[in-house]
Structures are given as structure tokens and as C-alpha cells.
Amino acid sequence: MQARFVLLWVLREVKASWPYFLATVLCVGWAVFLGSVALQGREIWRCITPSWASQTTTIVLMKPGVEDGVIDKIRQSLEASPWVESFEVFQGEKALLDFRARNPDLAHIVEDLDPAYIPVYFRIITAEKCLADFVRCEEFLKSLGSMEVVDRLYSGFLLAGRVFRWFDHAGKVLLFFAVIFLILGLLIAVLLIRLTCEARSRELYLWETLGASPQMIKIPFLIYSSFAIFLGIVTAWVIFGFAGFFVPSGEGSCLPAKLSKCSGLLLPGLLVWALTLVVVDVTLRSMRRKRKWDAR
């Protein structure tokens, strides 16, 4: 009986002070959303990158007359690197023909490249691994003096790498705003408690008649604010859901798995809220029985 009374009271309070309630929901919702993006931004972005980000990438580096010892050192460094999956080294004019034959879809890109300028041929690097640690990947390419060639070949690849680095920096900013929104949402939730406490003296009297102590009177107001926080988590999940609709088909196959991490917050929130209602109901019942027993 008391649990139903609490629920009806909460719904009536939502209707009475909906601007503050809505502000709490939105602040907490955006806090959870921004925090999730800040903490999982790189993984979410990897889900919506084009298909080439998960394929083996060929990087062209060729120059006639490169010493065998230099190529051997490059081979050794690539074999020792944990972020290079596979590679092939070619040299000379034949390498360009081999590249065109093995990669017909990229042959038109190589047409404009001067074989005398290109240092060595590499068929390497899983782009996803390279993007996961793009700074080291970029340093490796620069150490070979190949950035201009690679920039002409895979400008999109480098762009995605720069986006990942942007997420590294922007993630801290997003996390800062997430904390700000969360603090703001909690402050508004506290304001909700104070407003309802001051404006509902009759409700306080009613709770006293049910057998609640002054400390227990605060519980329904805490339920009220926690309900707003819980709906804020739901709002974050809805925002993620709408964001998923804008992902092009075939390029966001792993996005639902990432979004499920956010939606997974709903179940604990719902359980905590339901448990709070049960605790309030059981406590009020026991206090009421104790009061009746003392009266006897």
C-alpha cells in the first residue's frame, strides 16, 4: 500500500514541478552520454569508419639502389612490431608492376607516382591496428621518409588516424563537460528535494501519520530525485539509439555491441530504484506496526 502511495506521490510531484524534473533528466542524460563517448569514443568511432579501416593496407615505398642491409633492418623492425600484421618488401621497376597486378582497384592511384621517387614497396599494416596506435604508426612512416607518398595514396587513412588523435584530446574535454552536467543534474535533484519539502507540509504530516520518523520523511524525496536520475540514464540510451540511426548501413555492424554497454546501465538503475521502493515500503510497515504495538 505504501509503495503504491509513494509511486502516486512521485508521479504527482513530477507533474507539479516538471521543469526542474526535466532539467535533472536532461543534465544527467547528457552527462552519461558525454561520459560514454569520452570513455569509449575511439571504439565507437572505429565502428563507423569505412570498410577500409579493417582491411590490410598497402603502402608504397620504392627506390632503386636501396641496400639490402637497409631492407633487412626494415624487415626486422616490422617483424618485431606488435602492430604490424603482415608485410611484403619489393624493390625496383618490377615492384610497381607487381603492385598494379595484385591491387587492380588501387592501380589508378599509383599511375601518377614516379618509380624513381618511390623508395621501397610495402604491403603491410592492418589499418585498424595502426589506427589504434596511430602516433607510433605515423612516427614509423616518417622515419622512412614516406609521408608525402602515403599522404597521396591514403589521405583517408591518415584522416581517420587524425580523427582518432582528436578523440584522445577531445575525450578529456567531453569528460569534463560530462562531469559538469552530472554535477548540475545532481544539484537540481537536490533543489527538487528542497522545493518539494518546503511546498508539501501536508505531505509531511501525512507521512508522519503513516508512522515515518523525520529521517524517513526524506526518503520519498530521494526517490523522486533518483527517479529523475534514472530517467536521465534512459535519456542517454535514447540519444545513443538515435545516433545509431545515422550510421550508414554496412559500416556500423559493431555499433550495437558498443551501445549495449550504455544500455546496460538501465537494468542496475531500475533494480536500485525498485529496491529503494521495497525498502521504503518494508520500513514504513515495520514502523507502523511498532507504533501500533507501543500504543497498545
Report whether pLDDT(180) > 70. Answer: yes
> Residues 6 or more apart from 294 whose CB is under 8 A from it?
none
3-state secondary structure of 56: strand
pLDDT of res. 100: 62
Q: What confidence tier does 191 reach under pLDDT thresholds 50, 70, 90?
A: low
How many angstroms separate the CA atoms of 51 and 130, rounded? 15
How many angstroms separate the CA atoms of 23 and 225, rounded? 11
pLDDT of res. 228: 67
pLDDT of res. 286: 67
What is the mean predicted confidence (pLDDT) over 221-242?
65
For the sheet containing 121-126, what is the strand order? Answer: 56-60, 121-126, 89-90
pLDDT (tens digit, 9 = 90+) per residue, 106-141? Answer: 544 444 444 443 444 444 444 444 444 444 445 555
Report whether pLDDT(242) > 50. Answer: yes
pLDDT of res. 292: 62
pLDDT of res. 266: 54
> Residues 6 or more apart from 56 whose CB is under 8 A from it?
85, 86, 123, 124, 125, 126, 127
Report whether pLDDT(196) > 60. Answer: no
How many angstroms separate the CA atoms of 275 and 285, rounded? 15
> Residues 6 or more apart from 261 whose CB is under 8 A from it?
36, 40
Q: How far apart are the first and last CA of the chain?
A: 23
How many angstroms separate the CA atoms of 84 and 126, rounded? 7
Claim: this prediction has a pTM higher than 0.85: no
- The number of angstroms, rounded, from the C-alpha of 191 to the middle of its chain's C-alpha atoms is 30
pLDDT of res. 186: 65
Judged on CB neighbours under 10 Å (0-12, 13-18, 19+), 186 is middle
Lowest pLDDT segment from 110-114, 140-144, 272-276: 110-114
> What percent of the chain is predicted at pLDDT more than 70?
5
Q: What confidence tier does 152 reach under pLDDT thresholds 50, 70, 90?
A: very low
Most confident stretch, 88-92, 104-108, 174-178, 212-216: 174-178
pLDDT (tens digit, 9 = 90+) per residue, 17-54? Answer: 677 677 767 776 677 666 666 666 555 555 544 444 44
